[in-house]
């Protein structure tokens, strides 16, 4: 990535570090690091409603229901095991020369010298000192993990001996990612982010979408019972109640199980954010290429399981869905951020967006309720990813009532025919818009924020635009002009769509003047922009409302207007937003066709993506503003109307953006200035300036 020019991890160095860490972890767990571990397979049911700990804090042995299996390993008595483990862990700590207290004091001293006092007050302390540049995560030295062979192996209940060994081993040798790296030692993860959780919970009611309470009786107060959209915290930026840190998302002290998906992964950083002595982790990656990027040192973590998602052809596993299980509730997070430090604001130059909601455990988990459409689509998505059936079934034991106002939208990397075609890609988007009663036959305003642009043509813009009106995909397909092979015929419908669509992407000047000075994860090819079929006039400069930030957001804002029936001269504005992982490309949203041989409808998506539709409220604005009903735009543009003449491309220059206040934060400055074909106001292209 062009924007992250830090030194790559050295292959030989990685190999040495991986082996050292594996040995250390094995010793801390009371295992022989040089003896092959038994990899027997067991059939298991993963139940997210099962507690890993009893009320008295002891480990529960009923987390996983197993079929009888032969046990070849004999465990030592608890007292002997604990003392042996403690001694081994102490010797390993001495071997690496680790003085955790001293290391933490040195880290705090370095931070104090590097950062002004005001910055420390504005932002929680990070887990590591801010690097000068973001490091690339090397993939050349990564190999397929050969750890637990089944998810059942991952979730095996711990014995009393294992619990004792873990508790004593973790006190002298915490699991904090790579412990030795080029002569530098990593400090313990900071706990300062926890102090912000209460503040975040207090502001959740103000920033979340209001809704009725469910019939469940959660044992603890939920931070996001109605759902909320949050910006990711960024170092150095003042906190205003609309952002959240990765520590506040995970709440690792209470986290029992995490099912995480990501496109880019920094393992060492991620594992500093989790307590792998108490949290079980299922890490979803695309098969085969992304799966190979998970290094073999995962084998040292008995609580970690790698899950390879089927790719069904070219493309990528771009979804970032997070399922976080706690004692009495389930947290669902749908971010645009990957599991890397810079996407979560720790380098102070990149921001992301996320949707978050907490679902309480049902009063009687044995009695399941009917899922909401949101829940149905999420489970459909997980099943397509081939996650464990028991895990998916256990999700029905949570109360999904508060998700009824939202839509879960996904793209599944494959070709889908007939009924399945209408559930995914932009067809699924239109289906969800219609199900939430957000559809309309009138003109809408569509504003797209993307960190990556594909080879866009009018057909994709039309498909998304019509989907945001609630169309299933048929309207764009039937209006698709037929031209000669390799050429696209003139499309009169596309002209109208361009007038009401804006795509936000950073200019060269925006990137050059940003804190990062470069943008390796923001991608756009020059040849696509220069293609005659590319709708260049819809591009707008994406400038963050937070000074110097670049965006990795993927969002769609939709506004619709109609004359007020009760207030003459006023216009009522309503709308909704999409927040998720999908950029503006055919790979992300798919393409619908009618198969010539089978005469069946088929949509093909190349990427795994997911996002959430969030309805906004309503607001009333004066009709004399640019938020004028579409049927009056031509009249006013000719000077015959009483209001302001509307010029195509200036439709976002009005007060109608207030419809999203309190529902979805608007991360970019609106209206955005049009991008140019050349010069500093031309788009930033992949590969630099």
Q: Residue 687 — left, alpha, or beta (φ > 0 → left; ψ -120 to 50 → alpha)? A: left
- Using CB atoms within 10 Å of the CB of residue 449, give its burial: 0 to 12 exposed, 13 to 18 middle, 19+ buried: buried
**CA–CA gap between residue 248 and residue 227 (Å, rounded):** 15
**CA–CA gap between residue 426 and residue 408 (Å, rounded):** 12
Sign of the CA dihedral with 673 first, then 511, 240, and 404 last: positive
Three-class DSSP category at 129: coil
DSSP string across 46-104: E-TTS-SB-TTSPBPS-SEEE------PPPPPHHHHHHHHHHHHHHHHHHHT--HHHHH
- Whether residue 219 is annotated as binding a ligand: the answer is no
Other C-beta atoms lying within 10 Å of the C-beta of residue 181? 15
**CA–CA gap between residue 390 and residue 388 (Å, rounded):** 5
Task: State how far the alpha carbon of 293 is from the alpha carbons of 9, 142, 144, 297, 569, in Å.
Answer: 13, 5, 7, 11, 59
Taking Cα atoms as reference points, which of 666, 607, 91 lies closest to residue 381? Answer: 607
DSSP 8-state code for residue 363: S
**CA–CA gap between residue 580 and residue 353 (Å, rounded):** 8
DSSP 8-state code for residue 361: B
Contact 688, 514 (CB under 8 A): no
Contact 482, 552 (CB under 8 A): no
Taking Cα atoms as reference points, which of 617, 618, 621 lies closest to residue 208? Answer: 617
Task: State how far the alpha carbon of 492 is from the alpha carbons of 217, 486, 489, 572, 629, in Å.
Answer: 55, 19, 10, 29, 21
The answer to whether residue 318 is catalytic is yes
Q: Which of 329, 410, 552, 663 is catalytic?
A: 552
Other C-beta atoms lying within 10 Å of the C-beta of residue 38? 10
Cis bond before residue 333 (omega within 30° of 0)? no
- Using CB atoms within 10 Å of the CB of residue 36, give its burial: 0 to 12 exposed, 13 to 18 middle, 19+ buried: exposed
- The number of helix segments (H) and strand segments (E) in the chain equals 19, 22
Q: Which residues of 200-237 are buried (b: 16+ CB within 10 A; e: fewer)?
A: bbebbeebbbeeeebebebeeebbbbbbbbbbbbbbbb
**How many residues make up the chain in this entry?**
689
Q: Which of 4, 226, 318, 663 is catalytic?
A: 318
Three-class DSSP category at 236: coil
Question: For 235, how many CA atoms within 13 A lie in the half-sphere containing its CB?
Answer: 24
Contact 433, 407 (CB under 8 A): yes
Taking Cα atoms as reference points, which of 567, 498, 561, 560 lies closest to residue 534? Answer: 498
Other C-beta atoms lying within 10 Å of the C-beta of residue 548? 16
- Using CB atoms within 10 Å of the CB of residue 350, give its burial: 0 to 12 exposed, 13 to 18 middle, 19+ buried: buried
243-244: strand order across its sheet: 243-244, 228-232, 353-360, 329-335, 322-325, 257-261, 280-286, 304-309
Rounded to 5°, angle at Cα 47 from 167 and 607 = 100
- Whether residue 600 is annotated as binding a ligand: the answer is no
* The pairing of beta strand 539-541 with beta strand 329-335: unpaired
**CA–CA gap between residue 180 and residue 166 (Å, rounded):** 21
Q: Catalytic residues, which ones?
A: 318, 552
- Which residues are known binding-site members for substrate? 320, 554
- Which residues are known binding-site members? 320, 554
């Amino acid at each position: 990535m062009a924007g992250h020019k830090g030194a790559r991890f050295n292959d030989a160095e990685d190999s040495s570090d991986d082996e050292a860490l594996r040995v250390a972890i094995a010793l801390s767990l009371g295992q022989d690091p040089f003896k092959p571990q038994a990899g027997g397979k067991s059939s298991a049911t993963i139940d997210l409603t099962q507690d890993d700990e009893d009320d008295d804090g002891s480990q529960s042995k009923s987390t996983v229901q197993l079929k009888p299996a032969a046990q070849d390993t004999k465990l030592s008595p608890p007292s002997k095991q604990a003392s042996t483990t403690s001694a081994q862990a102490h010797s390993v700590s001495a071997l690496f020369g680790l003085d955790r207290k001293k290391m933490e004091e040195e880290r705090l001293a370095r931070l104090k010298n590097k950062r002004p006092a005001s910055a420390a007050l504005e932002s929680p302390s990070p887990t590591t000192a801010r690097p000068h540049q973001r490091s690339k995560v090397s993939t050349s030295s990564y190999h397929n993990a050969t750890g637990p062979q089944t998810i059942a192996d991952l979730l095996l209940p711990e014995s009393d001996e294992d619990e004792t060994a873990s508790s004593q081993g973790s006190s002298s040798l915490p699991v904090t990612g790579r412990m030795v790296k080029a002569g530098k030692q990593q400090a313990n993860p900071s706990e300062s982010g926890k102090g912000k959780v209460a503040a975040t919970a207090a502001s959740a009611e103000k920033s979340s979408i209001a809704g009725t309470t469910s019939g469940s009786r959660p044992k603890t107060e939920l931070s996001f019972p109605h759902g909320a959209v949050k910006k990711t915290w960024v170092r150095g930026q003042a906190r205003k109640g609309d952002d959240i840190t990765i520590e506040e998302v995970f709440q690792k002290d209470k986290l029992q199980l995490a099912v995480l998906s990501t496109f880019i992964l920094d393992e060492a950083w991620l594992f500093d954010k989790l307590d792998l002595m108490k949290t079980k982790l299922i890490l979803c990656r695309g098969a085969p290429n992304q799966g190979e990027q998970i290094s073999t040192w995962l084998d040292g973590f008995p609580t970690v399981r790698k899950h390879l998602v089927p790719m069904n052809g070219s493309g990528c596993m771009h979804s970032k869905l997070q399922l976080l299980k706690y004692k009495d509730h389930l947290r669902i997070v749908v971010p645009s951020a990957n599991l890397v430090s810079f996407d979560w604001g720790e380098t102070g130059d990149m921001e992301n967006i996320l949707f978050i909601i907490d679902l309480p455990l049902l009063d009687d988990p044995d009695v399941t309720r009917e899922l909401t459409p949101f829940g149905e689509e999420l489970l459909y998505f997980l099943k397509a990813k081939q996650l464990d059936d028991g895990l998916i079934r256990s999700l029905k034991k949570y109360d999904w009532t508060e998700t009824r106002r939202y839509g879960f939208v996904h793209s599944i990397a494959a070709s889908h025919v007939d009924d399945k075609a209408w559930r995914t890609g932009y067809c699924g988007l239109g289906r969800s818009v219609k199900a939430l009663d957000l559809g309309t036959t009138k003109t809408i305003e569509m504003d797209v924020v993307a960190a990556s642009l594909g080879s866009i043509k009018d057909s994709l813009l039309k498909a998304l635009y019509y989907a945001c009106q609630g169309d299933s995909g048929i309207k764009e397909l039937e209006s698709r002009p037929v031209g000669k092979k390799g050429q696209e015929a003139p499309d009169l419908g596309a002209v109208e769509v361009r007038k009401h669509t804006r795509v936000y992407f950073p200019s060269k000047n925006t990137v050059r003047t940003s804190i990062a000075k470069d943008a390796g994860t923001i991608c756009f090819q020059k040849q696509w922009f220069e293609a005659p079929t590319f709708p260049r006039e819809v591009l707008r400069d994406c400038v963050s409302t937070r000074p110097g930030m670049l965006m990795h957001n993927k969002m769609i804002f939709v506004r619709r207007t109609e004359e007020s029936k009760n207030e003459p001269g006023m216009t009522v504005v309503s709308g909704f937003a999409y927040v998720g992982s999908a950029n503006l490309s055919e790979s992300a949203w798919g393409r619908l066709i009618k198969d010539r041989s089978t005469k069946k409808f088929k949509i093909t998506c190349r990427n795994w993506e997911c996002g959430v539709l969030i309805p906004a409220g309503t607001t009333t604005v004066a009709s004399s503003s640019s938020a004028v009903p579409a049927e009056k735009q031509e009249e006013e543009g000719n000077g015959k109307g009483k209001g302001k003449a509307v010029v195509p491309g200036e439709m976002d220059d009005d007060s109608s953006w207030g419809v999203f206040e309190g529902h979805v934060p608007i991360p970019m400055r609106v209206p955005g200035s049009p991008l140019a074909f050349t010069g500093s106001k031309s788009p930033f292209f992949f590969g630099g300036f």
